Amino acid sequence: MSESRTRPFPLVDRTDPNLLEETFDYSLPPLIRFDGPIIEYVEGKPVQFDPKALKTRELVITDTTFRDGQQARPPYTIEQMVHIYDLLAKLGGPNGVIRQTEFFLYTRNDRETLDRCRALGHRYPECTGWIRANSMDDFRLVQENKLTETGLLTSCSDYHIFNKLKFKSRKECMDRYCQVVDAAFSAGIRPRCHLEDITRADVEGFVFPFVERLMRMSEQVPEKLSVKVRMCDTMGFGLTYPGAELPRSVPKLVYKMNQEVGVPSSRLEWHGHNDFHKVHVNAATAWLYGCDALNSTLFGFGERTGNPPLEGAVFEYIALRGDLCGIRTEAITELAEYMRSIGLPIAENYPFVGRGFNTTQAGIHAGGLRQDERIYNIFDTTALLGRPPRVSLTDKSGADGVAHWINEFFGLKGDQRISKIKMHKVARWVFDQYEVHGRLTAISDQEMEAKVRELMPDYWARHKGQ
């Protein structure tokens, strides 16, 4: 019989709240804290990872909005890309948390965009290229555009090697890829090998031998040319669960690349896709286990189901580091507004930037917001995103919802806030919209504004003037 593991949990009574503010510091996204080492079993042996290293390693976010992001939509104009690049620079701050972004180089527009982005004079994000590298001429493009680093497609699953690229053998494929890498070295360009479809590849039979060869080749060139490795979870097959097997295990992929194949953390990057709703956590897990660069796109917009959302990575970064590190989070809202203005759809409930991401409809939640906004707001969204928590008025909003809307509308805080008693006529109007008139849509801000003006004229005059 197994011994019972239950133990008593006596009530710790207190008369003041314990708000766990060491984690839920309202001025930041909730901090990600660990209370011990992380253990993953690799080939039956426990391997420890120290999460404290996350504070000291040079974690970075890289961006592929203009490459993968643009593969999923009609092309951006040059002006649009330059403006987005400018805002990315503002968001990432002077420490270059958003370290790099990559550009196509094939058309005149591609090259003009690159020139105009660089002309802005931002140190970060650094501009890198992306080429198919089917032809050695591609390196000429990289050289002519004075880029020092470019991504190269080095697909690594047999789905690609045999069924798409039609190589006769893995050796033929590896030799060809290494020729391309050699050509990059000869051109003085740092190659970043994009290991496409790694989570469906024979990692022991092809990926690790190939990357091991890349590491040996890198020893023959100056450090600034040494190969970077981007692990591409092309189909979103990656898994974070302890004990998951290769090639799908993100922890094991990163660990083996880093500790057994010998790719330094600073030269490892994770690029994911969201086919199974795992895109952000897979990418953040790669950070955790030893991969320094997290590749992402703004609002996750990318091929098919998209990539790790850059803004999610930004908040993850802050939560892991416990500090803004120069990041200007308000630029996320600016980027979202700009993207909407050029026709990029962002779902209402999309985290951090959807129009309703911090809007509550339930009256009971609005009541909580009215008492202390921390109850139903994830962090100080007013300070970090310029987005105060809001209520959207429906039949579920109740008088608390109406009170929250009106106080926010008048911009009243603390003791200045108007009690719901004083706005009962507006609350009645809202209630009757549904109970009496059978309305089925939410009440718009414009309608509310008109009703407040009509039914609360004294308050209107006091707070909105004439």
Of residues 56 through 95, those in contact with other proteins by CB under 8 A are: none
From residue 379 to residue 408, the character string flagging contacts with other proteins as x (rule: CB under 8 A) and all else as - is -------------------xx---------
**Token reading at 402:** 């109406």
Integer angstrom CA distances of residue 153 from 1, 140, 354, 355? 57, 16, 34, 37
Comparison of 309 and 363: residue with beta carbon closer to other proteins: 363
Query: Which part of the chain contacts other proteins (CB under 8 A), choosing from 5-13, 207-215, 240-248, 418-426?
Result: 418-426
Answer for which of 107, 179, 382, 419 binds other proteins (CB under 8 A) is: 419
On the CB side of 262, CA atoms within 13 Å amount to 12
* Helix/strand/coil for 78: helix
Nearer to other proteins, 111 or 424 (CB): 424
**Token pair listed for 385:** 């995103």
Residue 103 phi/psi, 5-degree rounding, is: -125, 145
Which residue in 111, 213, 396, 428 binds other proteins (CB under 8 A)? 428
Count the residues of the shown chain that bind other proteins, applying the rule CB under 8 A.
11
Which residue, 243, 220, 326, 230, is CA-closest to 283?
230
Query: What residues does 62 pair with on adjacent strands?
Result: 100, 295
Q: Is 290 in the site for other proteins (CB under 8 A)?
A: no
Q: Which of residues 339-368 bind other proteins (CB under 8 A)?
A: 363
Contact region with other proteins (CB under 8 A), list: 4-12, 154-162, 210-218, 417-425? 417-425
Using CB under 8 A as the binding rule, whether residue 427 contacts other proteins is answered as: yes
- Please say which residue, 163 or 371, places its beta carbon nearer to other proteins: 371
432: left (phi over 0), alpha (psi -120 to 50) or beta: alpha
Neighbours of 446 (CB within 10 A): 8
Task: Tell whether residue 420 is a contact of other proteins (CB under 8 A).
Answer: yes
Stretch that binds other proteins, among 152-160, 213-221, 237-245, 426-434 (CB under 8 A): 426-434
Q: How many CA atoms lie within 13 A of 54 on its CB side?
A: 24
Should residue 431 be labelled a site residue for other proteins when binding is judged by CB under 8 A? yes
Contact 198, 159 (CB under 8 A): no
Give the long-range contacts of residues 345-349, CB within 8 A, separation 24 or more: 346/299
Q: Which stretch binds other proteins (CB under 8 A): 3-11, 150-158, 216-224, 420-428?
A: 420-428
List interacting residues with other proteins (CB under 8 A): 363, 398-399, 419-422, 424, 427-428, 431
